[in-house]
Amino acid sequence: MFRRRHRLSKASEFDAVFAHKIRKSRGPITLHLRPNDLPHHRLGLSIGRRVGNAVTRSRLKRMIREVFRLHHATMPMLGEAGYDLVISARKHDPMTLDAYRAAIIDAMMDAHAVQVRRDG
């Protein structure tokens, strides 16, 4: 289940993630990352109309949420703190759940490595 505590909901939370300036792209998926002070990760989605019609955007959001739901417990943490993630996408042909998983996890690992280097 994708619980409320795992969601970014306020515009200020999204703005803070974008302002942190850690961004990694894999194919059509772009992941923005910022550490939070919580013991878990939170997800926000920014899927624009250019991606497709409402049906296409909703399907994409469901796929991304499902990847997050299945893998958030195994995603890397920054010490005891999780990350706030914002995922956006460009227009693309639909992919499988495994393809989205591979893109998101790979981008997450690279972004985590950048954050660890920043904290030195």
Q: What is the pLDDT of residue 102?
A: 96
Place of tokens 């790979």: 106
Q: What is the mean pLDDT of each run of 10 residues along the chain (120 residues)?
A: 84 95 96 94 95 96 95 91 95 95 96 90
Q: What is the pLDDT of residue 43?
A: 96
Q: What is the pLDDT of residue 1?
A: 65
Map residue 25 onto helix, strand or coil: strand
Q: What is the pLDDT of residue 79?
A: 87
Tokens at 100, concatenated: 């989205």
Residue-range domain boundaries for the chain: 23-119
Q: What is the pLDDT of residue 60?
A: 97
* CB burial of residue 75 (10 Å; 0-12, 13-18, 19+): middle
Tokens at 19, concatenated: 């302002």
Edge-first strand listing for the sheet containing 23-26: 23-26, 29-35, 83-89, 42-46
In whole angstroms, give the CA distance from residue 34 to residue 23: 10
The CATH number, out of the four listed (3.30.230.10, 3.40.50.1370, 3.40.50.720, 3.30.360.30), of the domain defined by the range 23-119: 3.30.230.10
The answer, as to whether pTM is greater than 0.75, is yes
